[in-house]
Amino acid sequence: MFNFTDLPPIARQKNQVMTDKEFIEMEISRFKTSKKRREMMTGERYYQGFHDVLSKKRQAIGEDGKLVDVNNLPNNRIIDNQYKKMVIQKVNYLVGQPITFQSDNKQFMDALKALFGRKFMKLLKKIGTDAENEGIVWVYPTYDDDGCLIFKKFKGHEIIPGWRDADHTILDYAIRIYSMIDYSGTSDEQIVEKVEVYDETGISYFQLDGGHLTPEEPFHQAYFTVEGEHPFNWTKIPLIPFKRDADEIPLIRCCKSLQDGLNDILSNFENNMEEDARNTILILVNYDGENLGSFRRNLANYGAVKVKTVDGAAGDLKTLQVEVNADNYKAILEIFKKAIIENCMGFDAKDDRLGGQPNQMNIQSMYSDIDLDANDMETEFQASFEELLWFVRCHFANTGIGDYDLDNLEVIFNRDLPMVESEVINNIRNSVGILSDETLVAQHPWVDDVELELKRIAKQKQAEQEAMMADNPFKKDDPDDKGDDE
């Protein structure tokens, strides 16, 4: 029988330790119903295109004065996903281009390039997307079956962090909760909830059923093993938070009401356009016959109405129509779209400043908001990379690759800012002799790998010198030949 007192200690506060399962169950229950987690999942849901407008209903005031559902009117549910556009803009602006490392140690640089290759750059874009959608995302360094260091990504709504400090920089523990499909014991698939508890002693595994934890086998494991036998733990909990900003605020909080308003305006516009003559308000004069429901149905089926004269008064049919002014809708839509861009601190790719021949100052002005927002996100990501590289350094030292110093290592985020290339190249040309070749090459818009380009330049210069020496008519074949004696 499992004894829950064997759980690794989870410190909530200094000098206060709880070791029972009730604390973990309480934390899970509180987190699953929290506004913060709902907001995280809303950001993810809106990015995937599942907006609140999809559950919209047409309603009217009923006989008792309360709203009732109306099912015989057009009820369009249109989504113009400007939120997703903002997320893609901001992620690609900061991490769309591969990050680069600068260090005086060439061997360290080569080792980092081998580890942080294209596969990691793809993961980094996913990290950026989840950070925008949920405010925070987690990276878990671990080893695969071949003993290679790899990085896994955990979404923010899966992790319950136990922070030691108010600034959320040091972890005491972390609880991961996630769902998966289980086929064990039955031919039908079923969704089960798994729980993992991370602390300095390793990982403990549970299954959550009805809000209660049940341990799984193996219950507790170290973070990794050497040669499949010797268990080892990091001296830190290997969960690194990548935050959108210091307050871990999802982007959806900045624009959800605006996105909903945009969807509603588009949906209502199409509803009004579809409410044609057969759906408009009808005014019957001196009509006596079947009930109005049957009258409406016959009108929809045949498109005709028979009227008659009653007691000398001529029968008639009139319609009351509401004109749909498309210009009003267009103006409101433009207001909503600009408001979404401004509140999300993005940029308008159709900005008038890009018309004609834009200069670099116009481009920088248009990108000023997204650049300011990227500064906050880059600050958080730089701190996260500092934590991540601590694990990388331990890996390099323990596997014999080398024990490198992180003090003079710089992580560079190459922002994807459009530029007027001719202006940049002219500025580089005018800076020759003032700045080093390495600095100038790094700023050139056509260069992706500075180190490789410097090698190419050195090789080209050497080839040119050799060609000049070969074509020199005064070149002496014999260095000891001093010419004819006088």
Calpha distance 339→333 (Å, rounded): 10
Using DSSP's 3-state secondary structure scheme, residue 222 falls into coil
Contact 442, 436 (CB under 8 A): no
Contact 99, 116 (CB under 8 A): yes
Q: How many CB atoms lie within 10 A of CB 177?
A: 20
Mean pLDDT of the 4-26 span: 58
Any domain includes 265 = no
In 233-376, at which residue ranges do the beta strands (DSSP E only) sit?
A: 240-243, 281-285, 316-320
Whether 247 and 294 map to the same domain: the answer is: no
Whether the per-residue pLDDT at 2 is higher than 80: the answer is no
Of 66-75, 157-166, 303-312, the least confident: 303-312
Q: Which of 42-51, 66-75, 140-149, 214-223 is predicted most confidently? A: 42-51
Beta bridge partners of 17: 11
Any domain includes 425 = yes
Amino acid 15: pLDDT: 40
Whether 151 and 107 map to the same domain: the answer is: yes
Nearest to 306 by CA among 292, 293, 317: 317
Amino acid 16: pLDDT: 43
Whether 248 and 285 map to the same domain: the answer is: no
**Looking at per-residue confidence, does 142 or 67 come out higher?**
142
How many structural domains are present in the chain? 3
Amino acid 4: pLDDT: 45
Whether the per-residue pLDDT at 358 is higher than 90: the answer is no
Whether the per-residue pLDDT at 74 is higher than 50: the answer is yes
> 145: domain range?
4-252+378-388
Calpha distance 371→353 (Å, rounded): 17
Amino acid 307: pLDDT: 66
pLDDT tens readout for residues 28-68: 999 999 999 999 999 999 999 999 999 999 887 777 778 88
Amino acid 280: pLDDT: 62
Whether 88 and 228 map to the same domain: the answer is: yes
Q: Residue 164 — very low, low, confident or very high, per pLDDT cuts 50/70/90?
A: very high
All residues at 6 or more sequence positions from 158 whose CB lies less than 8 Å from its CB, including other chains: 138, 176, 177, 178
Whether 153 and 302 map to the same domain: the answer is: no
Calpha distance 196→219 (Å, rounded): 10
All residues at 6 or more sequence positions from 113 whose CB lies less than 8 Å from its CB, including other chains: 101
State residue 215 phi and psi, 5-degree precision.
-65, 150
Measured CA angle at 124 (ends 119, 127), to 5 deg: 130
List C-alpha distances in Å: 36 to 62, 246, 392.
37, 15, 31
User: Of 345, 368, 388, which one is at a domain's C-terminal end?
Assistant: 388
State residue 256 phi and psi, 5-degree precision.
-60, -45
